[in-house]
Chain A
Amino acid sequence: MIEIKNLTKIYHTAHQDILALDDVSLSVKRGEIFGIIGLSGAGKSTLIRCINMLEKPTRGSIMVDGQDITLLKQQQLRTARQKIGIIFQQFNLLSSRTVFDNVKFPLEITGIPAQAARQRVEQLLDMVGLSDKARVYPEQLSGGQKQRVGIARALANDPKILLSDEATSALDPQTTRSILKLLKDINRQLNLTILLITHDMNVIKQICDRVAVINNSRIEEVGDVLSIFSNPQTPTAQSFIKAIINKDDPQEYRKDLIKQHGDKYSRLIRVSFIGASAGDPVISAMIKRFDVDANILHGNIDRVKDVPFGHLTLELIGSRSGVERSMSFLQDNGLDIEVL
């Protein structure tokens, strides 16, 4: 749906040339939610702004639904932009217009007849759950409500793709979740392709199908969200994952534990799991089967696109062979084990 090839963007400023995008190539499939994650200054906004030509690329091509956006003339570009929805971190709603008229704004731009426009706005407000706020001005809305208006407005002209520039970065975690859920619902209902950029791995984790990691103007890693989570290749990706997975520091309890049961054999391990095995009663089966005790010291379970994902720090206590065999048992069941 979006095909970016060798995209380079250089900003020429008075003092220097800034290479904001360095030979970026990406492909976003129809109907998927694609996330781009990177630190501040990595080039995310530049990338998304090139897709609707708010920034003119220095080199490269950007195909949106088979049409190279970079080659369009002014009038063609305006028509193409009407089919590219975008939502912003700062919402960018018009303070002079009510919620209703804000959503109607893009329909006025395309020149939809008033009656049809009104119906469309009502339908959109219903979809984002703001029908009761139609006559209210944006200033009276909470951040989450403002973004809902932003989403309704972005969808007004039935876009082929929806771009999101840090749309939840100004919102609290709970509101962020509800906005992400709305985006996901829309993605499913309309089979709408969504390209979002963020610096927050939680956003990627909650709704993205695939993710690209951007660092220093380059795409460093692209892949399925689950595989990036379970097996990040680059230091950038690893640090993003680490930031949201709340791992414990084994040093805190290691010394005390080993001392406590001097006669028995014990091992401190961290079990990482991903996918279905998290749901199986593997640990309890292990305890019964090998006659070991499992002392749970720390645990963390999360969901990445509805797939359980997490880790558990355990102290296994029992006979030496029981503990060793327990560990291979866990591995055989698809769990990843790290001896601490």
Chain B
Amino acid sequence: MILSAHAVFANIDLNAFWAQNSWIGEKLATATWETFYMVIICTALSYLFGLPLGVILVTTEAGHVLENRWVNRSLGVIVNATRSIPFIIFLILVIPFTRLVVGTSIGTTASMVPLTLAAIPFVARMVETSFKEIQWGLIEAAVSMGANAWQVIAKVLIPEAMPSIILGVAITTINLVSYSAMAGIVGGGGLGTLAYYYGYQRYEDLIMWATVIVLIIFVQCVQVLGDKMAARAINKRR
């Protein structure tokens, strides 16, 4: 008797709570989805451009297959310059460009422009580091068999660095989650906007904490997935 009464009371409480706060669930679901696709698309785009840049950064170094001092130096300077601008300033700096590309500077599509632009040089450096872990002897072996630069890149550099590149993708994705929240504060959409407008400006603690929990779970999942995929790429070789 007592037990079932308890259950009924609990039920009523929960229902009431849900009725009051169901809009939170909807907002949260929409915002999570926005963040998710923003981050995934930005990661993909930043690799589309960052990977080739990383390849160029490495292969134009002295003694490498596309040795070119001038290209290497200039690209290095550009990459470093972009990376030294704090993201929050970068966001504002590229607003004219964002407007040019998507017609507005507000919303998820608009915030993908600065996110991708900021991630590209980061990715280029990550990829560069992955390539530099490869034993130089492997590259020399390929060259001494008569491989051209393209063959060295496609058959040695990228496949050999793959596990390390996969880990880099996970790190980039996680960074983009946090940067996307920053973009959210200036109207970029997703979980950042939600947390800022409801959690901060309207003192909705519940929203704040729900956002934090969703972000933790999301980042956790990305890292675990990244580790798993990298481990699989390595284990395949054992």
Question: A77 to nearest B CB, angstroms?
Answer: 8
**Cα-based distance from A108 to B154 in the complex (angstroms):** 12
Which residue on chain B has the smallest CB distance to residue A78?
B146
Which one of A54, A90, A97, A140 contacts B143 once the chains associate, using CB atoms below 8 Å?
A54
> Is A123 in contact with chain B by the CB < 8 A criterion?
no
> Is B135 in contact with chain A by the CB < 8 A criterion?
yes
> Is B148 in contact with chain A by the CB < 8 A criterion?
yes
Which residue on chain A has the smallest CB distance to residue B162?
A96
Please tell me which stretch of A31-39, A81-89, A256-264, A272-280 contacts chain B, meaning at least 4 of its Cβ atoms lie within 8 angstroms of it: A81-89
B145 touches A105 (CB 8 A): yes
Question: B180 to nearest A CB, angstroms?
Answer: 33
Q: Which residues B17-51 have CB closer than 8 A to chain A?
A: none
> Is A106 in contact with chain B by the CB < 8 A criterion?
yes
How many A residues face the partner with a CB closer than 8 A? 27
> Is A333 in contact with chain B by the CB < 8 A criterion?
no
> Is B237 in contact with chain A by the CB < 8 A criterion?
yes
**Cα-based distance from A78 to B135 in the complex (angstroms):** 21
Q: A94-B160, A95-B160 are in contact. Are A54 and B147 (CB under 8 A)?
A: no
A94 touches B159 (CB 8 A): yes
Determine the chain A residues whose CB is within 8 A of the CB of B156 once the complex forms.
Answer: 94
> Is B93 in contact with chain A by the CB < 8 A criterion?
no
Determine the chain B residues whose CB is within 8 A of the CB of A157 once the complex forms.
Answer: 145-146
Determine the chain B residues whose CB is within 8 A of the CB of A329 once the complex forms.
Answer: none
A140 touches B238 (CB 8 A): yes
Binary interface profile of B, 215-238, with partner A (CB < 8 Å = 1, else 0)? 000000000000000000000111
> Is B73 in contact with chain A by the CB < 8 A criterion?
no
Q: A82-B145, A105-B155, A137-B236 are in contact. Are A92 and B140 (CB under 8 A)?
A: yes
**Cα-based distance from A110 to B145 in the complex (angstroms):** 9
B140 touches A96 (CB 8 A): no
**Cα-based distance from A90 to B141 in the complex (angstroms):** 10
Determine the chain B residues whose CB is within 8 A of the CB of A84 once the complex forms.
Answer: 144
Which one of B144, B148, B236 contacts A54 once the chains associate, using CB atoms below 8 Å?
B144
Determine the chain B residues whose CB is within 8 A of the CB of A94 once the complex forms.
Answer: 138, 155-156, 159-160
Report which B residues bind A (CB closer than 8 A).
135, 137-138, 140-148, 151, 155-156, 159-160, 162, 236-238
